[in-house]
Amino acid sequence: MGLSPDDLTAGHRRIIERADTLIGGRRLLGFFPDSPAEKKVIGKDIEAVVACIRRRLGRKTIVVLASGDPLFFGIGAKLVEAFGPDRVTIHPNISSVAAAFARIKEPWGGVRVLSLHGRKNESELLRALAEEDCVAVLTDPARNPAWLSRLVLQKLGGGFRLAVMEALGTASERHGWYPLTEAAAKEFREPNIALLKREVGGSTGRRPLCLGTPDAEFEHHGGLITKSEVRAVSLAKLRLSPGQVLWDLGAGSGSVAIEASLLLGKGRIVAVEQRSERIDQIKANARRFAVRNLSVVQAVLPAGLARLPKPDRIFIGGGGKNLPAIIPEAARHLKPDGIVVINTVLLQNVHDAAAALRRLGFATEMVQLQIHRSRPMPWSERLETLNPVWIITGVRKPDDRRRTK
């Protein structure tokens, strides 16, 4: 049907006129009051609709009316699945997303589209917003634009503009752009579609990211952050390439993971951290530097690794006394030719980490970094010594995978 009967071609109308049974939502059926066809209203029970069609199949000409494009989050896929592609003909039309972008006169090739209509997929939505500049969202009466605005404000702190297209194709159609704070308290006409577009500049706190970003640029507590000099060497030891998957285990403030995004391109980063306050820091830092390919997982290592995407590289910046247990479990998931880099300030962990990597067949290397930073004095400068850091690197050959099992 597209947006309304105005989008139907003459061919579409001839098909509807020849229908013995006309099936659709109450609103769509209401457009054809003079049709002599038997009418069946589509409700929430889609299986009942399938059963109704099955009883008439082969004896009746059955036409199902769908808004938008039947294969774009519509009933078309369900009917093809139920009856097979040879028994179903699809007549596509204008989708609400195509119409929405036409209203705001912007291209939408490559835009991520998600449906919240009857779906509880908030995590997928938040992940898309972290990765994309623009996301189109099909709403429903419960997960409406106001709900969507509150979710983005609560989980991401804002950073997006919202466009809402209300009652597309009807006489009461309207569309406009809204700040999230305004939309969160506003009622919108049904049905509607929402577009979330990332703000450039403004008050989102976004900052330019570079290798060697000063520690003070990251949100962290009490100096608990991998220092910029250590990050530089650790990233070099990881030998990152575009498209790879990196695990940052014991991610802390997420500084290593966030700088790694500069080297991974469209690759993926998974930051694993057990403390909720540090989870919040990682997310805040990702927003601050507009890093979109970073996922955050809360887990007590070594648990929770099996369900993550297989890594090409693993960085372990935490672990404490659990480090000897974390290393073999993490290495078990590492791809061939993978690299593990471990940072520690504890002498016991230096020995344990190197020994664990060697037992697993990794070629190991250990580097100690002793950093001195200048501090001003009344008429000169002095050097302030930071804690020495050990960087242990393990490089595995493809035939060494069997040793990690």
What is the per-residue pLDDT across 72-117, written as a single tens digit (0 to 9) for each?
988 999 999 999 999 999 999 999 999 999 999 989 988 999 998 8
- The pLDDT tens digits of the residues spanning 30-75 come to 999 999 999 999 988 889 999 999 999 988 999 999 999 999 988 9
Is it the case that residue 154 has pLDDT exceeding 90?
no
User: What residues have CB less than 8 Å from 85, skipping those under 6 apart?
Assistant: none
Span of 114-128, 145-159, 166-180, 260-274 with lowest mean pLDDT: 114-128
Report all structural domains of the chain as residue ranges with CATH numbers, in order of start: 5-87 (3.40.1010.10), 96-198 (3.30.950.10), 215-404 (3.40.50.150)
The two three-digit tokens of residue 128, written as one number? 């898309």
Mean pLDDT of 216-237: 89
120 or 317, higher pLDDT = 317
- What are the backbone dihedrals phi and psi of residue 125, each rounded to the nearest 5 degrees, phi first? -65, -50
pTM listed for this prediction: 0.53
In the chain, the percentage of residues whose pLDDT exceeds 70 is 96
Average pLDDT across the chain, whole number:
90
Per-residue tokens: 161: 């503009």
User: With the C-alpha atoms ordered 241, 246, 251, 253, is the resulting torsion angle positive or negative?
Assistant: positive
Can you give the pLDDT at residue 357?
Answer: 95
Kindly indicate the confidence band of residue 403, based on its pLDDT and cuts at 50, 70 and 90: low
Residue 205 has pLDDT above 50, yes or no: no
Higher pLDDT, 26 or 117: 26
Give the contacts of 246 (CB within 8 A, at least 6 positions apart).
238, 240, 257, 260, 264, 267, 268, 269, 270, 311, 312, 313, 314, 315
- Residue 213, number of CB atoms within 10 A of its CB: 19
* Listed residue (273, 281, 334) closest to 300, CA to CA: 273
As a whole number, mean pLDDT of residues 378-384 equals: 89
CB 101 within 8 A of CB 168: no
- 231-261 per-residue burial string, b: 16 or more CB within 10 A, e: under 16: bebbbebbebeeebbbbbbbbbbbbbbbbbb
Q: Which of 88, 96, 116 is nearest to 166 (CA)?
A: 96
* 203: pLDDT strictly greater than 50: no
pLDDT of residue 404: 52
Q: What is the pLDDT of residue 398?
A: 63
Please check the confidence at residue 323 and state whether its pLDDT lies above 50: yes
Which tokens belong to 250? 């014991």
- Of the listed ranges 13-27, 63-77, 214-228, 321-335, the least confidently predicted one is 214-228
Note the pLDDT of residue 400: 55
